[in-house]
């Protein structure tokens, strides 16, 4: 059985907020690790669930998709071009 990634919106749990979309046990479901920006800040490709195909950023404080949402190819091309503002 696949573990589905249920999230479609950012979630900052550091502030004590809960998500209506999922739980902290589901934060690592349905994703492929792509790499790190250091200090526990990671890039992941979502492979299951409603946001399948999009790149998300995960860190100790929360999770968020890029904005605008990017698939792997667009994210990788932007990364190669030196984009550092992933949330326009």
Sequence-ordered alpha helix ranges (H) in 1-88: 72-80
pLDDT in tens, 16-45: 889 999 999 999 999 999 999 899 999 999
With a cut of 90, say whether residue 3 has pLDDT above it: yes
With a cut of 70, say whether residue 87 has pLDDT above it: yes
Q: Where are the domains of the chain?
A: 1-13+28-88
Q: What is the pLDDT of residue 1?
A: 62
pLDDT in tens, 47-79: 999 999 999 999 999 999 999 999 999 999 999
With a cut of 90, say whether residue 80 has pLDDT above it: yes
Contact 17, 27 (CB under 8 A): no
* Cα–Cα distance measured from residue 2 to residue 48, given in angstroms and rounded to the nearest whole number: 8
């Amino acid at each position: 059985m696949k573990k589905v990634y249920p999230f479609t919106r950012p979630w900052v749990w550091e502030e004590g907020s809960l998500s209506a979309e999922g739980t902290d046990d589901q934060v690592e479901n349905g994703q492929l690790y792509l790499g790190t920006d250091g200090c526990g800040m990671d890039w992941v490709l979502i492979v299951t669930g409603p946001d399948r195909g999009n790149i998300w950023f995960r860190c100790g404080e929360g999770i968020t998709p890029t904005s605008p949402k990017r698939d792997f190819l667009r994210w990788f091309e932007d990364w190669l071009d030196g984009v550092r503002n992933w949330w326009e």
